[in-house]
Amino acid sequence: MKRLKKQFSLFSAIVDAFVEPPETIRYPFEPLNLPDVIRGALVLDTEKCSGCGLCVRNCPADALELDNKSRDEFRLIHYPARCAYCGQCEDSCRSGAIYHTNQLVKPITDPETCVVILHDKRG
């Protein structure tokens, strides 16, 4: 009788597995709807960035670099391999130019993705 009960519960678990919706997300075949609070990929609104360098100065991981010749000519560079996705640059930026999205950060598979030119402003 005990054995029959066990077999029945196994059978009902198998039926449930076919009837119930899946518990897992089929990423990357379906989009991930991550919560807004996730600190994911960094983006820059180039219209708002003045090249002040506050984000670079406050980055604890040395993951940002400002290559500037003048106020009108500068490059803001991000090194994702060093980035801790801590949010300090977002907090430091007074104009709200740099911020995290809730998008997953892509794995770094080749040297080119180790360096991201966030802004390249030329005179």
Q: Which among 54, 106, 103, 57 is positioned nearest to 80, based on CA atoms?
A: 106
Does residue number 25 form part of the binding site for ligand SF4 (CB under 6 A)?
no
CA dist., res. 109 & res. 63, Å (int): 18
Closest approach of ligand SF4 to the CB of residue 87, in Å: 6
Residue type at 48 in one-letter notation? K
Taking CB under 6 A as the rule, which mask of x and - marks residues 61-100 in contact with ligand SF4?
x-xx-----------x------xxxxxxx--xx-x-xx--
Give the residue with the Cβ less far from ligand SF4, 29 or 117: 117
Q: E strands along the chain, which residues? A: 42-44, 64-70, 73-78, 98-100, 116-121
Does residue number 114 form part of the binding site for ligand SF4 (CB under 6 A)?
no
- Residues in CB range of 2: below 8 A, 6 or more apart: none
Number of residues that bind ligand SF4 (CB under 6 A): 25
Residues in the site for ligand SF4, rule: CB under 6 A?
44, 49-55, 59, 61, 63-64, 76, 83-89, 92-93, 95, 97-98
